[in-house]
Structures are given as structure tokens and as C-alpha cells.
Chain A
Amino acid sequence: MARYFWLIPLLPGASALVLLLLGPKLSRRWVSWQACLTVFLSLALSVMGFVHLIRAGHGAGGLAKTLLPWIASGSFSSAISFVFDELAAVMALVVTGVGLLIHVYSIGYMADEKAYSRYFAFLNLFTFFMLVLVLASDIVLMFVGWEGVGLCSYLLIGFWFERPAASKAGMKAFVVNRIGDAAFIVGVLFLLVNVGSSSFAAINAAPAAGLLGPGLVTLVAILLFVGATGKSAQIPLYVWLPDAMEGPTPVSALIHAATMVTAGVYMVCRLDGLFSASPAASSVVAWVGGLTAVFAATIALVQNDIKRVLAYSTISQIGYMFLGCGVGAYAAGMFHLVTHAFFKSLLFLAAGSVIHALGGEQDMRKMGGLKKLLPTTFPVFLVGALAISGVPFLSGFFSKDAILAGAFAGGHYALYALGLSGAVLTAFYMFRLVYMMFYGGSRATHHAGTAPHVHESPSVMTVPLVILAVFSALAGFAGLPVLLGEKANWLGRFLEAVLEPAAHHLVASTEVGLILAATAAALAGIALAFVFYRRRPDLPDRTVRAFPGIHRLLVGKYYVDEAYDAVVVRPLVIGAEKVYSRFDLGVIDGALDGSAAAAAAAGKGLNVLQSGLVRDYALAFLIGAVLFLGALLL
């Protein structure tokens, strides 16, 4: 049955097609069932494939299937073919598993939405493209998926397109992604020219085979990574992700937490052969990741919209994943990708539940005291917060520790320090969120006469939350630190079938030390948040007053958006307007109107010939006859 793994992307794709064409005519029940069932089937197939891989043993069970020949140009050819190896399996499980839970959650969340079928059509479409990206066997097909998820992201961010903010956010996401994609394409072109093939196997083997010189490897790797910074929202192309929160919350959970934004990490892991071959590129990856992790965390400290906090948190956590990949610990990066998918989507969905319960409120300064009012949402949110903060034994603890251990083991102490400080910040801002939302008295503003009717969400929304919470808590046990025995890091060994193994290993004592340090960091962050937001509620304001400049900088997100706007956007817009007025209106429209006017003038001129007088027509005959005779005679 695992042979049919290639149906995994096609089932949601078919569903998307049906929903796009017939959606409005189908009943809501049908739409819900169809959308969720297809993802469920994909999940089932992924599980079967996964089991098959385990049974087949280390690296032996990779499945491949070519569907259609596609490009055949000169010596280069690429077919539409999928591959299901360990790395793809992990990603497919995450995408279909978390995807299914979010599809189900959406049934409840979008229950009042008019364009119900359009939403699910896009959601299915996204799942299709993401799975194409994940299962592609060569970089060109992966790029198709890459672009496709970008498109779906645009469609879903701007789902409520009647709102100008949403529509602008969608465009911003697409355009910024495009910039990254431009670099990506150049990188792919270099690869195609030098390697001659687009398959991952060929690319990963190319540096060793001498097809790519060291300079070229670094260049290509960095170009591809720039594409990844766009897709995965790292410095410098992260600016679209916070704005993307204009979309429906389940979309934020699925696309902008669990799956699409992790595509960049997946890409780097897929091409680990390429990145390992270039220490320069790897260190770029690691440093961008590390700096982004801290940078985004600092911004998250002062945001008041819960979705914004989570957005910057996502940017920060993906930074960790790239940090892991950059130092050679690819399996650790993937591990964090998996755990992050669980707890971040959990946090988003729970936040969505809160927003839904409060009738649309997203500002945490207006929340508080929700602990008792939302008895299911609160505990799961807490689990997610604990997980992301790296509290021991929850999933985030293990995955984050794996990354930090990898950094430390490779001798990248500066990066380790960055990661550790990021951990403190993470714990702090997450628990700031928790305390402000769920504890204390209610600061909700009451509109005249109507108190908001705060109610727990329906079970179609809470059940996925609980499932995600369970995974967030327990998933860590898939990748226990090696110090507990060789067999402990199950996920790592599973992935090693495909990924380059981590280069360095630590002595047990160092590892214990690192674990303790990480735990301390997490607890410190939580404690600090407790002090600031429970014990001494005046402290936040006093701190702000003490450091107004820094606070302004952080609230203004380091003014990066404004800088981009001034340096890049405005000149382009002005230039485009000039081109439009001079060239488009002047030249092209002028030529068009001119030729139309010329045709009309010609017509008017020729109109003289149609005088209606028989005599003139006869004259024309005569002239023709004379000429004709002349021609015959000559």
C-alpha cells in the first residue's frame, strides 16, 4: 500500500480542484467532509509509508515514483517524480497530521464565514503544493511547490480581501517572497548549468564529484538560502510574516507556523550535501538564524497583539532551526521543526479559540482573567507555552537542547550564547502572554450595555487543540539526548539515513551541563515574567519609562519596514508610475490610439471613392481595364 505514496499530494489537490470549481454549489457538510477526508487519507498513506520505511530498515526503504515526463530540453530533463525517504516522511507526516487537525479546527472557526468553500479550497490547494514541495525528487519540481505555497499563502492571507489591510498584507507577502525566489532561481540556474541535472541526489553529490568548485558551491548555497529567508521569514526578508496575521488564525497556524515557513529549513536539509560542502555558506545560515532568533524575540517582548507575538516567535524559532542546520546538526534542526509545528500551531489555534471566544479581540491589554472562563483552552495554551519555553521533558526542551548542543559541540560558542539568550527571551515573552491573557482581573472593555459573552469553543475546535497539546508534550521523547544511550535519539538515527550526521559529539558531562543551562534559562525567563506581570505589575511601565528609546525601537520593530519602504518600495513605485505615464500611456497607448486614428483617417479618405455615382464606379472599371489590357499587351 505504501507504493501509492504518490497519491499523498494528489488527493488534496483533487479536492482543491473540485472545491474551486464546484464549491459554492456544495453543501457545507460536504465541503467539510471532503476537505478533511482527503487530508486524512493523505495522512494515512504517509503513515503507511512511514511504517514501511521503519520496517525496511536504515536507508533501504526509500520509495520513488515517476508520474509524467515534464521537461526535456537539450541535455536537461526533469520529470514529475516523487520520492519518499525518511526526511520526506517526517515532513509529510507533519504536513498531513497538523494539516488535518487544522482543517478540522477550521470547520468550527470558519463556521460563520460566507466564503466557506473558497477557504477550504485554498487550504486543500496549499496542502497539495506543500506536499509536492516535500515529496519532490528534484529541485525544479520542489520549486513548483515552493511557488505554489507562496501563491496559496497570498490567497489565504488576503482571504478577507475586502479589508484593505488584509489585501495589502497578502501582496506584501507575495512580493517579498518573490525577491527571495529570484535569488533562488538564479541559484537553481547555476546548479542546472554546472551539474546538468536537477535531482537532489545529483546536486548533493556534485561538490564531491568536482562539478562545483568551492566558490560556486558557496554562491549557490547562499543564493538558495536567500530564497529560504524569504520563504521562512528570516533576516532580511521576514517583514511579511507579522503582517500575514491579517489572515484567518488557522491559516496562521498552518502556513505561517507549521508548514510553509519551514519549507526553507526543509530545503536546506534536503541539500545538506551542498551546504556541508561550503563552510562559509553554512556559517551564513547559522548566523542569520541565530541573529534572527534573538532579533525577533526582542521585538516580541513589546507587542500587544497576541498574533503578532506569536508571529515574531515563529520567526525566532525558525532562526533556531537554521542555526541547527548551519552548524551541521541537520537532524536537530528537523527535530525542532517537528516540535515547533506542534506547539506553535497549538498556540495559534488556542489563540484563535480565545479570539473567537472574545468576539474578535486580539489585544492582550484588553484581556485577562480568562483562566476560569476558558477551561479547555487555557490548559492547552499553557502546555504550548511551556513547550516553547523549553521547560524540561516537554518537546521543545529536547529539540532546542539538541540544537544548542550541536552549536556548542561544533565550537560555535558565540552562536550558543545567542541561542541561550534567545531561550530566556522566549520564555519571558511567552509567559508575558500567558499572564496577561489568562490571569488577573479582566481588563476587557465593555461596549455600552453588552458584556462580551465569553464562551468556550465548540469541540470541533477544542479536540484538535488537545491532540496537539499531547504531541507538544510528548513528541520530545522521539529524540532524547544521546547521553541516555545510543538508541535514545530515535529521530536522529531515523533521519541519518538521509541527512549528514552531526559532525561533533559531546562528552556526557558537557551535555548535562548544557541541559542544566537551558533549563535555567527557561525557568529564569518564566520567573522574570511572573515578577513583571503578576507580582509587580508596575514594573513593566517603570522599565518602559526608564528605557524609552529602546522601547520605542522595539515597538517600532527596529523601523525595518519603514526603512524598506523608503529605500526600496517608494523608489520602485515612483519609477513604476513614471514608466506608466511616459511609456505605457504615452508610447503604447499612443501607438495604439495613433494606429486607430490612422485607420479611421484612411477610411475617411477612402470614403471619397464611394460617391454613390455610377459614373465614378465606371471610371474605376475603365482605369482597371486599361491597366489590365496594358499589362496583357506588354
Chain B
Amino acid sequence: MAWAVFVILSVLCIGSVLAMIVSRNQAHNALFLVLAFSCLGGLFGLLDAPFAAAAQVLVYAGAIMVLFLFAIMMFNLREPAPREKRRLRTLLAAVLGLVLFAELAVAGLRALAPGSAPPAGPEGLAGLGRLLFTEYLYAFEITSLLILAALVGALALAGKKEGA
């Protein structure tokens, strides 16, 4: 049962990303990515990480991609991006991508090899919360500061200055 879900979600995810690559319409790209991120959220759930899954769907698929869509709307570009003219570049990127995939796969599988049956799983959400507020407290606080800074920064950068 779990396998089926896994396979469906993976295929959907990878397919969306592929579609994003192929499509030349920016809005389509963004929407495909929303789909991809949502599937990823599902995959996170399969990995016993419910909080991450929720955050993924809420933040990534919900907020970030919406931001992208807003930006696309603002640019209001009529003509789609032209097709990649240089065959060589595509080929090179593809080859490199393939090699990269191979390397990552090998690295990942090697990292798993010595692992035996996983020990007792994490204590779930409560455990996560506890970690956040003890070991990773500093990171947590600083990250919130970071978000604040990003907010202010974005306003400062892109806020309209009429007649400046």
C-alpha cells in the first residue's frame, strides 16, 4: 500500500518537474511546481515527518509559489522565453545532470550501506518541539530574525518610490 503511494507521488513529482522544464510558459512552470511541491509534501509524510510535510505544503506550495505567481503577473510578459538554440548546451547540461545524478545516487547509497534496521523512530511532534526549543534554540531565534530581515529588506528593495 505504502509502495503504491510512494510510486504515484514520486512519478507525479518527477513528471511535474519534467513538464516544468519542457514548458516555456512561465505561469505553467509555476503551476507545475506547485504540483511538484505538493507531491513532495506527501513524500515527506511517508517519511514519518508530518510537521515537515505540513510546512512544505503550507509554506512552499502555498506561499512561495504564490509569490512566484504574483511576480509573473507583475512582469506580464507576453512572449514566452525562446527555445534554447544551442544544442550543445542542452546536451552538455544533460550529460552533466546525468553524471551528477549517478554520483549523488552512489553517494547516497553508500551512506546507507552500513546502516542496519533503523533504531527507534523519533518521538514525533512533541520530540521535535522539544528539540527546537532546547538544542536548536539559537538557530530558531535567529531564523525568526532572518525572516523579519527578509521582510523589511524586500519592502526596502522593491517598495515603490514614486518619482525617486
A and B touch in the complex (CB under 8 A): yes
Closest residue of A by beta carbon distance from B104: A629
Contacts A619-B93, A622-B100 supplied; 8 other A-B pairs, CB < 8 Å: A622-B96, A626-B99, A626-B100, A626-B103, A629-B107, A633-B103, A633-B107, A633-B110
CA distance A477 to B103 in the complex (A): 108
Please tell me if A630 contacts chain B, counting CB pairs below 8 Å: yes
Report A-chain residues with C-beta under 8 Å of the C-beta of B100: 622, 625-626, 629
**Interface mask (A617-634 → B, CB under 8 Å = 1, otherwise 0):** 001001101100110110
CA distance A630 to B102 in the complex (A): 10
Closest residue of A by beta carbon distance from B107: A633
The smallest C-beta distance from B149 to any residue of chain A, in angstroms, reads 24
The smallest C-beta distance from A618 to any residue of chain B, in angstroms, reads 10
Closest residue of B by beta carbon distance from A629: B103
Please tell me if B145 contacts chain A, counting CB pairs below 8 Å: no
Interface size (A, Cβ < 8 Å)?
Answer: 9
Number of A-B contacts (CB under 8 A): 21
Please tell me if B92 contacts chain A, counting CB pairs below 8 Å: yes
CA distance A629 to B99 in the complex (A): 10
By secondary structure, the A interface counts as helix
- Give the residue of B96, B106, B110 whose beta carbon is less than 8 angstroms from that of A626: B96
Report B-chain residues with C-beta under 8 Å of the C-beta of A626: 96, 99-100, 103
Report B-chain residues with C-beta under 8 Å of the C-beta of A622: 96, 100
Are A630 and B103 neighbours in the complex by a CB distance under 8 Å?
yes
Interface size (B, Cβ < 8 Å)?
Answer: 10
Report B-chain residues with C-beta under 8 Å of the C-beta of A630: 99, 103
The smallest C-beta distance from A620 to any residue of chain B, in angstroms, reads 11
Which residues 81-102 of B sit at the A interface, judged by CB distance below 8 A?
Answer: 92-93, 96, 99-100
Report B-chain residues with C-beta under 8 Å of the C-beta of A625: 100
**Interface mask (B52-74 → A, CB under 8 Å = 1, otherwise 0):** 00000000000000000000000
Closest residue of B by beta carbon distance from A616: B89
Which residues 597-626 of A sit at the B interface, judged by CB distance below 8 A?
Answer: 619, 622-623, 625-626
Are A623 and B96 neighbours in the complex by a CB distance under 8 Å?
yes
Closest residue of B by beta carbon distance from A632: B107
Report A-chain residues with C-beta under 8 Å of the C-beta of B103: 626, 629-630, 633
The smallest C-beta distance from A232 to any residue of chain B, in angstroms, reads 82
The smallest C-beta distance from A631 to any residue of chain B, in angstroms, reads 10
Report A-chain residues with C-beta under 8 Å of the C-beta of B104: 629
**Interface mask (B124-154 → A, CB under 8 Å = 1, otherwise 0):** 0000000000000000000000000000000
Closest residue of A by beta carbon distance from B100: A626
Which of B92, B93, B96, B103 has its CB near the most chain A CB atoms (within 10 A)?
A: B103
Which of A623, A626, A630, A632 has its CB near the most chain B CB atoms (within 10 A)?
A: A626
CA distance A623 to B96 in the complex (A): 7
Closest residue of B by beta carbon distance from A625: B100
The smallest C-beta distance from B4 to any residue of chain A, in angstroms, reads 33
Closest residue of B by beta carbon distance from A615: B89
Report B-chain residues with C-beta under 8 Å of the C-beta of A619: 92-93
Q: Would you mind naming 15 contact pairs between A and B with Cβ atoms under 8 Å apart? A: A619-B92, A622-B96, A623-B96, A625-B100, A626-B96, A626-B99, A626-B100, A626-B103, A629-B100, A629-B104, A629-B107, A630-B103, A633-B103, A633-B106, A633-B107
